[in-house]
Structure 1
Amino acid sequence: MSQWQQQPSDRLTLDRIRRWNLAGWILLGLLPTAVAVADRSPARKFWLLGLLALIALCHTVTLTRPRNRVLNRRAYLGVLALVLGASSYLLDGGAAFYVVSLPQFWLFSRGPREAVAFSGAAAAFTVFGGTLGQGWSPQFLTGNAVFTVIAYAAGVGLGLWMHRFIGQSNERQEQLTAELALTQEELAAAYQRQGAAEERERMAREIHDTLAQGFASIVVLAEAARSAVGADPERCAQQLASIEQTARENLTEARVLVGSVPASGVAPGSVATTLRRTLDRFVQDTGLTVTAELPDIDLDQRTRVALLRCTQESLANVRKHSGASTVGVVLTEVPGGVELEITDDGNGFVVEESRGFGLDGMRRRLAELDGELTVTSSLGDGTRILATLPTQSHEHG
């Protein structure tokens, strides 16, 4: 199959070229040939005009009939070659008509071999027809016949060059298409890997902020309960109850993480109520002094979850690292947002040297909501955590 007939877009382009060629063929081929026979005998005029009408009809049928196009085009080219030979006989030479018709042998053929064969046959018929009509006169041999042969040779050379050029263009197009498809596959795989990495990071952060913190609390409470089992049974019972409650909460968080429940793990409601419940548990488990200013601010669910996770992480750090005796928690509504400040009077640390997962997790969680985390601390001066989040006044949980 011809290279220019392989792609659907190429076929549409080729059909448009054929239609434009038809207009030029009529203006430069059929009409001048019809005019040229005007001064001939009535018989020749009749036959030539009939042949021109026949070939015009065949051309129209070939362009418009969708079925058996290959057979129609071959039949049309065969008829065209015969008509060129007959018109050359009737006009005593038809080189001009042959030259104007030459592109059709390349536009309607399936490949270069077919085009060369049909155009060669048409050239032979044209020369033969002119010879029959005019005889082997020197004028004919130096005129129409030579011009026909030169046109055929030039047409073959140009056609083969165009065929090679179009073939190389199609090969390049196919190569670019394959490269594009490969790039799209690689890009899709990269997006998939990125999505998987982001999901792993999100899961790691959720596990750290929920399950890991809960298990850490259970360990601390279990150690305290074991120490108090003989000396302070009431305190031991209280700590065992806290262990049970923390384990139940961890179980709920685990079900949320694996998707068995469709919630975020944080019950809808006031952020102040949620934070007070968390602080009460912290006081119960640690015995530390906690002061809190928690106004009832209406916030969307994602903001409430982010503030709760920041509070839980900060309190866990206080319990594990700070050695503090007092913790302060202040929730403040500011223009366009909300701020949560958590301070302690513990040992403090060098912020620049901190490489903990918890602080980084808080920063990422707040950044996802266009928020910001500020950590201020130094050795011996305690720690201040400030979480700032924009509020969505139109979106309430």
Structure 2
Amino acid sequence: MSQWQQQPGDRLIQDRTLRWNLAAWILFGLLPPAIAVLDASPARMCWMFGLLALIALCHTVVLTRPDTSVPSPRTYLAVLAVVLGAASYLLDGGAAFYVVSLPQFWLFTRTPSDAIGLSGAAAALTVFGGTLGQGWSPHFLTGNAVVTVVAYVAGVGLGLWVHRFVGQSKERQEQLASELSVTQEELAVAYQRQGAAEERERLAREIHDTLAQGFASIVVLAEAARAGVVSDPVRCAEQLTSIEQTARENLAEARVLVGSAPVSGVAAGSLAATLRRTLDRFVQDTGLTVTAELPDIDLDQRTRVALLRCTQESLANIRKHAGASTVGVVLSERPGGVELEITDDGRGFVVEESHGFGLDGMRRRLAELDGELAVTSSLGDGTLVLATLPTQSQD
């Protein structure tokens, strides 16, 4: 088939073009010669009907079985050229039949050279057949022969233009397909990098909120225990117990982070109990006064973990930076959400000048759940941390 017909993307256009060409060819190509010989001699009529039936059969086979047909499209066009010549002889001129059949030489060939050669041969046979049937005369030279030659020249010009246009369209299509493929690959790489970056950020936040805080607590407790090993052995023993417990918790968190344990955080419905244990440990390690209002609120797993991490980060900041003596923690349920408020009476800080990983990590963690973090503080007036989260369905 023709070069453009072989492209899968042009299948719809190809089918429509072939159907319209077939309809026009039957209506204006096959029917007029058949009608023209109805009043001719029986022999001429039989020959014409036989030729038309032959070429119609070949056309049907080529059209319905383009890849495995016998005859091949090239052979079919050669037969068509002969039929055009014979019909021109029987009709004493077949320029109209040739003009209607001319598009097939471009539709059923692979290259322009094949179309030009085969349509030229058909034009020559048409002129030759008409010459034999009508005889050489000035009338003939200005009639069917001239029309056939003009149609051939016009067909070659139009065919070359269409071939060039289709070729340029295919090149553009291939270029766009190549660019699309490259863009898809780049997007895939970008998504992969984005996913890796998000995973690294998540791991960094988890390590900071769990392992790093635990190790910092172990260091502080170890220093205190070493200083009081002689002067206050009872307190030293308590601190060593806290070190052991913190180390075990860190080990459990490490196993979670590497995927060898279930997701950590809080058991279902136990946020208040977990926060109480966390605050008891904080009091034991620091000696600070802590007041807490922790009602039992049923929350989904992600919300419980987020609030626990915010509490742990806030307590770690109080221990390291605040110099406070009193800490307050209030967990409360609001319409459509839950709030966690953590306050201290420490030295405070300028919120706008603070860009630590801990606060940013809390904001990002809450934002992932459509929550918000508000931090209010000023030098000498302590700090208030307010975490707000919408209520989610239970896991």
Work out whether the TM-score is over 0.5: yes
Spell out the pairing of 1:31-50 with structure 2 (5 A cutoff): 31-50=31-50
The answer (yes or no) to whether the contact 1:208–1:358 under 8 Å persists in 2 is: yes
Identity of aligned residues (%): 82
Task: Please name the residue that 1:119 is paired with.
Answer: 119
Q: Report the 3-state secondary structure (helix = DSSP H, G, I; strand = E; otherwise coil) of the residue aligned with 1:266.
A: coil
Q: Report the 3-state secondary structure (helix = DSSP H, G, I; strand = E; otherwise coil) of the residue aligned with 1:236.
A: helix
Task: Please name the residue that 2:394 is paired with.
Answer: 396
Report deviation, 1:40: 2.1
Q: Which amino acid aligns with 2:373?
A: L
Task: Please name the residue that 2:60 is paired with.
Answer: 60
CA deviation profile, 1:283-303 (whole Å, cap 9, x unmatched): 010010000000010111100
The answer (yes or no) to whether the contact 2:3–2:109 under 8 Å persists in 1 is: no
2: CA distance, partners of 1:190 / 1:4: 36
The answer (yes or no) to whether the contact 1:4–1:11 under 8 Å persists in 2 is: no
CA deviation profile, 1:2-60 (whole Å, cap 9, x unmatched): 54134213245323311221111111111111112223222211111111111111111
The answer (yes or no) to whether the contact 1:252–1:265 under 8 Å persists in 2 is: no
Task: Pick closer, same or farther for the CA change 1:308–1:370 going to 2, 3 Å.
Answer: same
Task: Please name the residue that 2:279 is paired with.
Answer: 279
Task: Pick closer, same or farther for the CA change 1:316–1:70 going to 2, 3 Å.
Answer: farther
The answer (yes or no) to whether the contact 2:340–2:387 under 8 Å persists in 1 is: yes
Task: Please name the residue that 2:181 is paired with.
Answer: 181
Q: Report the 3-state secondary structure (helix = DSSP H, G, I; strand = E; otherwise coil) of the residue aligned with 2:193.
A: helix
Number of equivalent positions:
395
1: CA distance, partners of 2:52 / 2:70: 22
The answer (yes or no) to whether the contact 2:265–2:308 under 8 Å persists in 1 is: no
Q: Report the 3-state secondary structure (helix = DSSP H, G, I; strand = E; otherwise coil) of the residue aligned with 2:292.
A: strand
2: CA distance, partners of 1:125 / 1:308: 94
Report deviation, 1:188: 1.2
Task: Please name the residue that 2:369 is paired with.
Answer: 369
Task: Please name the residue that 2:130 is paired with.
Answer: 130
CA deviation profile, 1:323-371 (whole Å, cap 9, x unmatched): 0000000001010000000000000001111111101100000000000
Q: Which amino acid aligns with 2:355?
A: R
RMSD over aligned Cα, in angstroms? 1.3
Q: Report the 3-state secondary structure (helix = DSSP H, G, I; strand = E; otherwise coil) of the residue aligned with 2:43.
A: helix
The answer (yes or no) to whether the contact 1:255–1:261 under 8 Å persists in 2 is: yes
Task: Please name the residue that 1:30 is paired with.
Answer: 30
1: CA distance, partners of 2:310 / 2:134: 104
Task: Please name the residue that 1:141 is paired with.
Answer: 141
Report deviation, 1:268: 3.4
Report deviation, 1:65: 2.4
Q: Report the 3-state secondary structure (helix = DSSP H, G, I; strand = E; otherwise coil) of the residue aligned with 1:40.
A: coil
Task: Please name the residue that 1:243 is paired with.
Answer: 243
Q: Which amino acid aligns with 2:80?
A: L
Report deviation, 1:70: 8.3
CA deviation profile, 1:272-330 (whole Å, cap 9, x unmatched): 00100100000010010000000010111100000000000000000000000000000
1:16 partnered with 2:16: yes
Task: Pick closer, same or farther for the CA change 1:341–1:69 going to 2, 3 Å.
Answer: same
Report deviation, 1:269: 3.7
Spell out the pairing of 1:220-369 with structure 2 (5 A cutoff): 220-369=220-369
Report deviation, 1:68: 2.2
Q: Which amino acid aligns with 2:104?
A: Q
Q: Which amino acid aligns with 1:80?
A: L
The answer (yes or no) to whether the contact 1:306–1:365 under 8 Å persists in 2 is: yes
Q: Which amino acid aligns with 1:140?
A: F
Q: Report the 3-state secondary structure (helix = DSSP H, G, I; strand = E; otherwise coil) of the residue aligned with 2:96.
A: helix
Task: Please name the residue that 2:200 is paired with.
Answer: 200
CA deviation profile, 1:101-136 (whole Å, cap 9, x unmatched): 000111111221111111011001101101111111
Task: Please name the residue that 1:109 is paired with.
Answer: 109
TM-score norm. by structure 1 comes to: 0.97
Task: Please name the residue that 1:78 is paired with.
Answer: 78
Segment drifting more, 260-269 vs 282-291: 260-269
Ranges in structure 1 where 5+ consecutive residues have no aligned partner: none
Ranges in structure 2 where 5+ consecutive residues have no aligned partner: none
Q: Report the 3-state secondary structure (helix = DSSP H, G, I; strand = E; otherwise coil) of the residue aligned with 1:386.
A: strand
1: CA distance, partners of 2:16 / 2:76: 18
Q: Report the 3-state secondary structure (helix = DSSP H, G, I; strand = E; otherwise coil) of the residue aligned with 1:296.
A: coil
1: CA distance, partners of 2:96 / 2:216: 98
Report deviation, 1:223: 0.4
Report deviation, 1:67: 4.5
2: CA distance, partners of 1:379 / 1:301: 36
Segment drifting more, 367-376 vs 27-36: 27-36
Q: Report the 3-state secondary structure (helix = DSSP H, G, I; strand = E; otherwise coil) of the residue aligned with 1:347.
A: coil
2: CA distance, partners of 1:270 / 1:18: 74
Q: Which amino acid aligns with 1:91?
A: L
TM-score norm. by structure 2 comes to: 0.97
Task: Please name the residue that 1:169 is paired with.
Answer: 169
Task: Pick closer, same or farther for the CA change 1:303–1:321 going to 2, 3 Å.
Answer: same
The answer (yes or no) to whether the contact 1:85–1:130 under 8 Å persists in 2 is: yes
The answer (yes or no) to whether the contact 1:14–1:107 under 8 Å persists in 2 is: no
1: CA distance, partners of 2:154 / 2:394: 79
